[in-house]
C-alpha cells in the first residue's frame, strides 16, 4: 500500500474534490490558508494521541470523559470507515508516514466487510476508507476489487418494487421496509461502481433510490423525515417516522445534513437538475431556520430551541462540507451565500468551544456532537464521523485556496 501512496496525486480524479471550482465563487474565500493548515496540523496532533489509545482489532467511536474511556467498535459497525478515512485525509495533507501506516493497519480489518450484505452502510464503511485509499494510490487494483465487491453487496439490498435500498433488517415488528435519509450517503459509492465497472445497474439503483427518496422523504418546507417505511410487496408508503429525531414531524439535524450532502453529490455526479434543486431547497431550510444558532452549529434537532440543549457538531461538519461542494455547483450570490455559511460553521468548529485542546478529548478533534438523543446514547461527546467530515471540509476548502 505504501508504494502506491508515494505516487503524487496530480491528475487523480475523485468525486469528493473534482466539482469544486474557484471560478464559481463570487469574491474570494474568506478563510486563509494559514487558518486551514493550522487546523489540519492540530487534527494531526490530536490523531497522534488517538492512535496511541486505539486497541488492536477495533476502530474508535467516541470517548467518555468522566471515565477517561475510549469507546470502540468492530469492523461491522457503520462508523468503521471514518477513522481510517480521516487518517488518509491527514496523510494527504501532511505526508506523515505514521498516519498512513495506521490507516493501512485499520483497512486490513475492514476488508472483510466487502461481503457484508446485512447493512446499508457500506458507503460509509468502505467508500470513506478504501475510496480514499484508491484516490490516493492513483490506480490500485486491490482497492478497486474490494470496492466493487462491496458495491455488489450493497446493491443486493435494493428492492425494485419499493425503488430503494433497504436500510435496517431489525425492527421487524415496527417497520416492514425502513429507508432512512442517511441512505443517500451510500449512492456515491454506487455511482463510482458504475463508472469503474461499466455496469449501469449500480447507477440505475442510485438514481432510482434518489428519486424515490425525493418523492417521499421531504415535507413541504423541504425538511426531511428520518424513516420512511414501505410495503416491500407493493412499494406503498406505510409510515413516515423518526428514530433519532425529537418526534415524527421534527427535523433531526444530522438527517438534514445527510440530505443536503446526498443531493449535492448526486447533482455533481449525474447532473440531473432535480437533484440540484433539492439540494438548494434543503440548504434554504437549514440556513434560514429560526432555531439555527448564530454560530451555525445546530442543536441536535431543528425543532429544539432551548439554549442549553445539546448541539451536534457532527451535523455542522457534514453540512459545512456539503455547502462547500454546493457552492461550486452554482454561481454568483448563491454560491457566495453557501460558502459564507460553510466558513461560519468551520470557524465555529475550529474555535475553542468545539475543538479540543491537543492531548484532551481522548484524541478526537471535535467536542459536542450528539449521536442518538432520544435513546440517551452518545450525547454531547466526540464522534469519529464528526472528525471525518470536519477534516473533509477543511480539505475541500483547501482546494479552493490552492
The residue written with cell numbers 447507477 in the block is 203
Q: Which of 182, 229, 269, 387 is catalytic?
A: 182
State the greatest distance between any 2 C-alpha atoms of the chain, in Å, as a whole number: 56
Catalytic residue chosen out of the listed positions 37, 121, 145, 221: 121
Whether 214 and 270 have beta carbons less than 8 Å apart is answered as no
The C-alpha R_g of the chain, in whole angstroms, comes to: 19
Helix axes 82-94, 33-51, angle to 10 degrees: 130
Q: Within 10 A of 18 (CB to CB), how many other CB atoms are there?
A: 13
Q: Is 295 a catalytic residue?
A: no
User: What does the alpha-carbon distance between residue 61 and residue 76 come to, in Å, rounded to a whole number?
Assistant: 12
CA distances from 304 to 5, 136, 310, 376, 385 (A): 45, 41, 9, 16, 22
Closest CA to 325 of 217, 239, 397: 397
> How far, CA to CA in Å, does 58 sit from each of 75, 77, 85, 109?
7, 10, 15, 8
Q: Is 121 considered catalytic here?
A: yes
CB-CB contact of 198 with 159 (8 Å): no
Catalytic residues: 121, 182
Amino acid at each position: 500500500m505504501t508504494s502506491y501512496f508515494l505516487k503524487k496525486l496530480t491528475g487523480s480524479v475523485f468525486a469528493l474534490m473534482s466539482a469544486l471550482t474557484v471560478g464559481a465563487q463570487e469574491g474570494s474565500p474568506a478563510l486563509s490558508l494559514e487558518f486551514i493548515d493550522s487546523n489540519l496540523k492540530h487534527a494531526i496532533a490530536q490523531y497522534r494521541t488517538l492512535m496511541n489509545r486505539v486497541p488492536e482489532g477495533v476502530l474508535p467511536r467516541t470517548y467518555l470523559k468522566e471515565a477517561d474511556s475510549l469507546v470502540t467498535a468492530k469492523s461491522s459497525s457503520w462508523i468503521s470507515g471514518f477513522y481510517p478515512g480521516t487518517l488518509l485525509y491527514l496523510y494527504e495533507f501532511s505526508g506523515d508516514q505514521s498516519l498512513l501506516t495506521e490507516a493501512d493497519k485499520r483497512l486490513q480489518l475492514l476488508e472483510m466487510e466487502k461481503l457484508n450484505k446485512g447493512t446499508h452502510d457500506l458507503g460509509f464503511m468502505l467508500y470513506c476508507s478504501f475510496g480514499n485509499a484508491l484516490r490516493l494510490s492513483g490506480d490500485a487494483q486491490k482497492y478497486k476489487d474490494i470496492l466493487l465487491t462491496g458495491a455488489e453487496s450493497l446493491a443486493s439490498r435494493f428492492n425494485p418494487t419499493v425503488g430503494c435500498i433497504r436500510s435496517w433488517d431489525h425492527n421487524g415488528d415496527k417497520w416492514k421496509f425502513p429507508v432512512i435519509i442517511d441512505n443517500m450517503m451510500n449512492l456515491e459509492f454506487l455511482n463510482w461502481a458504475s463508472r469503474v465497472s461499466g455496469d449501469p445497474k449500480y447507477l440505475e439503483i442510485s438514481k432510482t433510490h434518489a428519486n424515490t427518496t425525493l418523492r417521499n422523504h421531504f415535507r413541504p418546507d423541504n425538511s426531511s423525515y428520518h424513516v420512511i417505511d414501505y410495503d416491500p410487496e407493493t412499494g406503498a408508503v406505510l409510515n413516515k417516522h423518526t428514530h433519532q429525531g425529537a418526534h415524527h414531524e421534527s427535523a433531526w439535524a444530522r438527517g438534514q445534513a445527510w440530505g443536503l450532502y446526498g443531493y449535492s453529490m448526486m447533482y455533481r455526479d449525474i447532473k440531473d437538475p432535480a437533484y440540484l434543486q433539492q439540494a438548494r431547497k434543503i440548504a434554504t431550510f437549514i440556513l434560514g431556520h429560526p432555531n439555527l444558532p448564530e454560530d451555525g452549529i445546530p442543536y441536535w434537532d431543528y425543532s429544539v430551541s432551548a439554549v442549553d440543549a445539546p448541539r451536534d457538531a457532527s451535523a455542522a461538519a457534514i453540512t459545512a462540507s456539503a455547502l462547500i461542494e454546493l457552492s461550486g455547483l452554482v454561481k454568483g450570490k448563491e454560491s457566495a451565500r453557501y460558502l459564507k455559511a460553510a466558513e461560519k460553521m468551520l470557524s465555529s468548529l475550529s474555535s475553542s468551544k468545539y475543538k479540543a485542546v491537543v492531548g484532551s478529548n481522548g484524541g478526537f478533534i471535535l467536542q459536542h456532537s450528539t449521536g442518538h438523543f432520544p435513546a440517551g446514547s452518545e450525547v454531547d461527546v466526540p464522534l469519529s464521523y464528526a472528525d471525518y467530515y470536519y477534516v473533509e471540509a477543511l480539505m475541500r476548502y483547501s482546494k479552493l485556496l490552492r
